[in-house]
Structure 1
Amino acid sequence: MGRVFSEQILPLIHARRANDQFSVARIVKAGSPLLSPTALRRSKDNKAVLQGLGKAVDTLLQLWSGEGEPTLLAILQHVAKTGLFEIPDALQAHASGAIEQAAADGSDAEEPADRQTERDIAIQAYLDTPFSQIEPMAEYLAGRAHFDTHQGVKGLEFDRVMVIMDDQEARGFLFRYDDLFGGKPAGEKTVEATRRLFYVTASRAKESLALVAYSTQTDRVRSFVLNEGWFAPEEIVSKLDEHPEAV
């Protein structure tokens, strides 16, 4: 779904800003339906086609000319209007504005889930993101980011590692750090699954390791890791005043 942003629009913006006309031509030739063999055969004026394509690229850049920056939705709708790139099926309704219009027309008393599917709501939240977030996402997907999922780092090593353990944000059901840190007895399914995951992450570091655990039971977490002998008292820092859920 994000391919149109990360693999087409992002490199196109970079190339156009660098005045790299060769790269601009390569990108649109590879991905724009405006330059497909079928479109060119049907056209009676290929020069007009190229002029229209140039205008589509130039007006795309104009989305950055005002204050702030455009959202993915604004860019998506511009691409759909100009036909610059193919729109994925999952984004077609958003590109046309149908989903957003339906949400605006819905009664405030209605529950969002009654007006839209959870999938549409998730896509809307994604499309409300500023375009500047696409480059970090592309770096992550390409494996060049400085962070990864707990499962994604298996088999890798790093000089310094920080592990973030937040059950609420992870929304996992096969593992829970709160269960591992004294929430459930050893042998429970989630405890053992989380223990294996904890070992994978903690053993990635070659020189230094920092573990950040979010919990509503900070005293229990502290007592558990001390009783298990995993850490010495001086290795545990609790910021209860500033961050009441962090250990």
Structure 2
Amino acid sequence: MDLVVAQILVLQVAVAALTLGFGLLALRVAPGPGTSTRTGAWYLAGITFTLDGLLGTVHASAGAAAMAIAGRGTPFYLEYLRWTPLGDDARTLLVLGFAVGLVWLVLLERPVPARRVVLGSAAGLVVAGAMVGLAEGPLEQGGVHFSVLSLLGAVMGLLMFVALYRGMLRGTVDWLLWTALALYAAHQALSSNFQTALAWAGYTGGWSPPVLGIMWSAMVVACVMLACSMRRLAIARAGGDPPGLLERLRG
């Protein structure tokens, strides 16, 4: 296993674990939908990124094990590649659903649905995403998988930025969650462009240094997201409520 591959595998596991941590802390901040937009946004983020991080950690750990134990080209590794589109699409569609929920909550100013509706929707999106991944065929066939990820990622980023812009103007999203989600959406936009390039070039199942750059940026974003959730939880425990982004910038 070369150094680039090893770094990518380690970063994949680390990013997924940090994402899981962010989701769990978000649920500590808002264990339920609540009655305010701010609480609802943290709750939706908690449900989404806890499930996203859990699935990602399992998937990334399986990939690391496949490479470390068996190696590229072995049946174990090929089986991992066969399941990769299912995991990727399931998580991507899940976060796209979160972006739609954020638009519903922040832009349209509608209440968060009941807990069972949110959980059922999240589970349904994961299943639907897995079905999309199953329909794509083997990952090695080319750019189909990355084209799907690019399209879903672009739509997700657009919806999230629209909701965050509204939340910034009205102060309905506190600055800590705004920062975490804005960085996440920006990274997804960057990743979407990269996936488009992979789709155009054709994918042969190999790793390359640009992937490493994307993973390092994902690591930084995940660390900031986790730090934001830790700070928000500390404020919540002290009985405080952080301001919106514009209020924060104005001092």
| TM, length-normalised to structure 1 | 0.25
Higher helix share: 2
Q: Which has the larger radius of gyration?
A: 1
Larger strand proportion, structure 1 or 2? Answer: 1
